[in-house]
Structures are given as structure tokens and as C-alpha cells.
Amino acid sequence: MDPVFIVSLACIGAMVGFAAGLLGIGGGMILVPFLTMLFPLYGVPDQFIVHAAIATSMTTIIFTSVSSMRAHHAKGAIRWDIVSVMAPGMIIGGLLSGGAVFSYLSGGWLALIFAAFVAYSGAKMLSGKPPKAGRTMPGKAVTAGVGAGIGFASGLLGAGGGFLSVPFMARSNVSMHNAVATSAALGFFIAIANSAGYIYSGFHEVAGHDGMLGYIYWPALIVLSAMSVLTAPFGARCAHRLPVKTLKRVFACLLFVLAAYMLYEAYKAFQP
């Protein structure tokens, strides 16, 4: 790989790892726009740019989430009772998304879906509307169903699901710190399922293109994962020192910026 490409990926990976630990978002929602910018410059086929960015982003979450999860677990912040209910549904949703639907959508549609989901999540987080007093997590069946939906949506976006799981838990009066930590753990299961799906659905589609394993661009995956694993624990430690309102504002503002960029990418893709 080109040295400039390696340095760029290393810097992005370090930033993504920190954000993943801080916000529990798996880093994917930050990573996809940057990879969409970089991949056209370094040999990824044009028709697979958005697909490769999303798939590579999601796969890095396998490694980032483990590092972030260990740091949050050491603080006793992960709600494993929630993880045990939501994770099976997330795996099913992820396999359906990454292994089937993903390959049938064009890059423009994927970018548009990304922008819409991210903007919606940012608006909900920034609204600051407090959850109803006494509201708790719904029953196991509903929670598992929500998990399946989050796993499916995440597969189309290359994100670890924190953009949906954090607001969902916060709405049910799970503390923000616990929601962020639990989301980091859930991101691991989403990433495993969707990554397997991306390899399966893209295996024949991109056969013969250097560096591609299904839709995953593995040279970038190695650099990004190595750096993000190093910085995720630092972000997790910071998450336990920042006030709840600050976390919500950082999360929301970040999502708005990324939504705007991907909306522009969708606009370009749909131009004749």
C-alpha cells in the first residue's frame, strides 16, 4: 500500500477507536464517510466504493468493540442482561442484511439510507426530551425484535448499532453511561454477523479484485483495526468522566456532520 494511504488509515483508525470507546457507536458511522473519500484514490473499483467502505468499516468493529468492551466491563458498566436478550436478534438481522439485501442496493441508495438514519438519530439524541418516569426496558420478545431491527439496519450502514441502541436504552431509562457501554458490547455481535454476510454476498461479485475479500477491503482493515484497538480503551475511560449532556451533544453533532456528507455522496451518485 502507498505510505500516504497507510498513514491516513492509521490516523483515521486512531480517531475511530477513541470515538468508539467514548460514544459506544463502534466507530463505523465515523469511518464510512472517510473511507468513501479514500478508496477511490487507491484502487478500489468505483462500482464498489460505498459497499467496500461500509463492509470494511463494519469488520473493524469486531476488533474495536472487543477493546472498548473490555474497558467498559472493567468499569462494571455493561448491562449483560440486556446484551443476552438483544444479541441473538442482532445476529439474525445482521446475517439477513449483510448476506442478502446489501448486495442488491446501489452505492447511491446505501449512501442515502446512511444519511437518513444518521440524521434521524442525531435529532433524537439532541432533542434532549427526557424519558417518561418509570419507563423500563420492554419485555424480552420486544427487546429481541428491536435487536433484530438494529442488526439489520446496521448492516446497511457499516455501523455498530449504537446510533439506535443507545437512544433505545436511554429512552428506557438506562443511564447514558450504561447505554454507551452496553452498545459497545452489542456492536461485537452485529459486526460478526454482518461481516460474514458481506464476505458471502460479495465473494463472487468482486472476485479477482486485489485486496477484496467479498466486499471487505482487507489491507485497510488491518491498519484501521490495529490503531482503533489501541485508542478505544482511552475513549472508554473518558466516557466515564464526561457528563451525560456532553456525551449526547457530542454524539448528535457528530451524526449531523456525517449525515450531511453522505447525503452529498448520494446526490452525486444519482446524477445522470
SS (H, E, C) 159-186: CCCHHHHHHHHHHCCCCHHHHHHHHHHH
Structural domain count of the chain: 1
Query: What letter represents residue 156's amino acid?
Result: L
Q: Which of 23, 6, 123, 113 is nearest to 64 (CA)?
A: 23
Domain that holds residue 132: 3-269
Residue in this structure with the C-alpha cell 456525517, named with its chain if needed: 258
CA angle 65–24–261, rounded 5-degree value? 105
Q: What is the predicted pLDDT for the residue at 89? A: 92
- CA-based R_g, the chain, Å: 17
Cell, residue 167: 437512544
Q: Per-residue pLDDT for the chain (272 aa), expressed as one digit of tens each?
A: 678 878 888 888 888 777 766 765 556 677 888 888 888 887 777 778 888 888 988 888 888 778 778 878 888 889 999 999 999 999 999 898 888 888 888 888 888 888 887 787 778 767 766 555 556 778 889 999 999 999 898 888 777 777 778 878 887 878 878 888 888 889 889 889 999 999 988 887 777 677 788 889 888 888 888 888 788 777 777 766 767 567 667 777 877 887 888 888 788 888 76
Q: What is the predicted pLDDT for the residue at 20? A: 67
Is the Cβ–Cβ distance between 239 and 180 less than 8 Å? Answer: yes
Cα-Cα-Cα-Cα torsion 206, 62, 91, 134, nearest 10 degrees, comes to -140
Could you give the C-alpha distances from 60 to 14, 23, 137, 259, in angstroms and in order? 12, 16, 29, 20
Is the Cβ–Cβ distance between 39 and 53 less than 8 Å? Answer: yes
Q: Which of 59, 36, 43 is nearest to 108 (CA)?
A: 36
Q: What is the predicted pLDDT for the residue at 270? A: 83
Distance CA 240, CA 176 (A): 10
Cell, residue 12: 483515521
Question: 3-class DSSP state for residue 75?
Answer: coil
